[in-house]
Structure 1
Amino acid sequence: MATTYTIAELAREFDITARAIRFYEDQGLLSPKREGQGGRNRVYTPRDRTRLKLTLRGKRLGLTLSEIKSIIDMYETPKDTAAQINRFLGVLAHQRDTLEQQRADIEMSLAEIAVHEEECRRLLGTAGMEPAPADAEERDAA
């Protein structure tokens, strides 16, 4: 008999909620068989497990569920592997650009914060007041 998984087993294995797995099912990323009275019990195959694993990997990369579904579905129809790989490379390049821009924005925000912190400390110093500690470690040491 082929290996199958329950929703609870997959949730435990991947450290996600059963609700998240049902959501991925609603989005067409998973398609478990139904068993039991009235088809209440979901039965997941190794294929579903792999699709869930790839979905979670795509989420960690910052891809949208529609991008993830498109990529996973491409690999289920082995027509033109080069086209599939090029499509995936395009998605990854776009995500890399997005993350690089976010990193630049964060670095700029941190630089602005540092300027404002320094200005506040300078103003406190000229007024003869003690600046507050910059973080919890400094507060604990005081």
Structure 2
Amino acid sequence: MTSGPEWTIAQIADEFGVTHRTIRHYEDLGLVSPERRGTQRIFHRRDRTRLKLILRGKRLGFPLEEIRTIVDLFDAPRGRRAQLEYVLDQIDARRTDLEQRLKDVQDAIAELGDFERSCRADLDRLAPPRP
């Protein structure tokens, strides 16, 4: 049994704005491991920290397996340093991917603009609109 603050699944879900099902899914994947008291899940500081890291990783678009590696490194002997070095590498890769996606979207918007102008010009060259 761990001493310190404790949270129920409802409290954790409310705090992080996720469903109980989401938290149970992360538990099934071994990403969090709350204490069990009968059928009740009791979350401790470690679980709360891991859930915070999981949700941050999801917001940033990391796949769950990368998130698992990151949160598992948190518990590794080198701990925080190894985690931060790994995360920095992942951030670089994610940033590169997002920058490419942004460029692709900007190019697509520009192409749509060109196509729209072409279509409007073709329409203007056709017979005048009816009254």
**Fold-level match, TM-score > 0.5?**
yes
Confirm whether residue 8 of structure 1 aligns to residue 10 of structure 2. yes
Are 2:70 and 2:87, in contact at CA under 8 Å, matched by a contact in 1?
yes
Confirm whether residue 46 of structure 1 aligns to residue 48 of structure 2. no
Unaligned runs of 5+ in 2: none
What percent of counterpart residues are identical?
A: 43
- How far apart are 1:82 and its partner, in Å? 4.5
Q: How does 1:1-142 map to 2 (within 5 A)?
A: 2-36=4-38, 40-79=39-78, 82-127=81-126, 128-129=128-129
C-alpha distance in 2 between matches for 1:31 and 1:110: 45
Provide the TM-score with structure 1 as the length reference.
0.81
Are 2:73 and 2:79, in contact at CA under 8 Å, matched by a contact in 1?
no
C-alpha distance in 2 between matches for 1:28 and 1:44: 14
Match of 1:88, SS state, is helix
C-alpha distance in 2 between matches for 1:125 and 1:94: 47
Deviations 1:38-67 (A, max 9, x none): xx2111111111111111111111111111
C-alpha distance in 2 between matches for 1:106 and 1:21: 33
- How far apart are 1:86 and its partner, in Å? 2.4
C-alpha distance in 1 between matches for 2:70 and 2:79: 13
RMSD: 1.8
Unaligned runs of 5+ in 1: 131-142
Q: What amino acid is aligned across from residue 74 of structure 1 in structure 2?
A: L
Provide the TM-score with structure 2 as the length reference.
0.87
Identify which range, 79-88 or 103-112, moves more after superposition. Answer: 79-88
